[in-house]
């Protein structure tokens, strides 16, 4: 209870209208922050997947090159059967990375830097979101307390009016 009172004083919430305005503003901020975190997380997943596929591509490219260089059909089929999983992984990675090749190279360093920046931005945004979330929780708790106090005040007032009414009769 004392924490709520201290919070009200710190935030200068002197009326119910102030409380509702602050709660509304903080919920809007929380929505924006959540959306930003979701966007950062989504892009981070995309970049991480590109890096994973680039690693798969690099790991399986020598096997593909070896298979491609085999001239005889029988040996080629045997090699393909022996390395089927690796070749499938190569084809999948190749398909997913196809649009990202520039001059037969992938921008792996750029992706790594972007991933690092996204991680840092996400952590910062997530921390900010948690602060706002805690503020929204405090405001909700105070709102509930105010609503309960208002109900009690109304009940007491109704009882007083009924008592005065009975005394007059």
Is the pLDDT reported for residue 7 higher than 80?
Answer: no
Instruction: Classify burial at 90, counting beta carbons within 10 Å of its beta carbon; exposed 0-12, middle 13-18, buried 19 or more.
Output: buried
Question: What are the domain boundaries of the chain?
Answer: 2-168
Residues in the chain: 169
Tell me what the mean pLDDT of segment 94-122 comes to: 94
Nearest CA to 83 out of 62, 106, 58 is that of: 62
Question: CA 155 to CA 87: how far, in whole Å?
Answer: 76
The SS3 assignment for 102 reads strand
Q: Which H helix or E strand runs over 88?
A: helix 84-97
Residues in CB range of 125: below 8 A, 6 or more apart: 33, 36, 37, 40
Q: What percent of the chain has pLDDT over 90?
A: 62
Full-model pTM:
0.74
Mean pLDDT confidence for 51-67: 96
pLDDT in tens, 74-98: 999 999 999 999 999 999 999 999 9
């Amino acid at each position: 209870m004392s924490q709520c009172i201290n919070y009200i004083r710190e935030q200068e919430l002197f009326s119910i209208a102030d409380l509702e305005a602050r709660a509304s503003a903080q919920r809007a901020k929380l929505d924006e922050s959540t959306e930003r975190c979701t966007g950062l997380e989504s892009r981070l997943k995309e970049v991480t997947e590109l890096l994973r596929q680039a690693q798969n591509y690099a790991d399986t490219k020598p096997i593909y090159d070896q298979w491609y260089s085999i001239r005889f059909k029988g040996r080629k089929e045997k090699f393909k059967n022996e390395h089927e999983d690796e070749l499938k992984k190569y084809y999948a990675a190749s398909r997913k990375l196809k649009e990202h090749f520039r001059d037969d190279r992938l921008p792996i360093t750029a992706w790594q830097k972007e991933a690092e920046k996204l991680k840092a931005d996400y952590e910062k945004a997530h921390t900010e979101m948690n602060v706002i979330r805690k503020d929204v929780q405090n405001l909700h708790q105070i709102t509930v307390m105010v609503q309960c106090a208002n109900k009690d005040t109304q009940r007491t007032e109704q009882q007083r009016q009924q008592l005065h009414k009975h005394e007059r009769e």
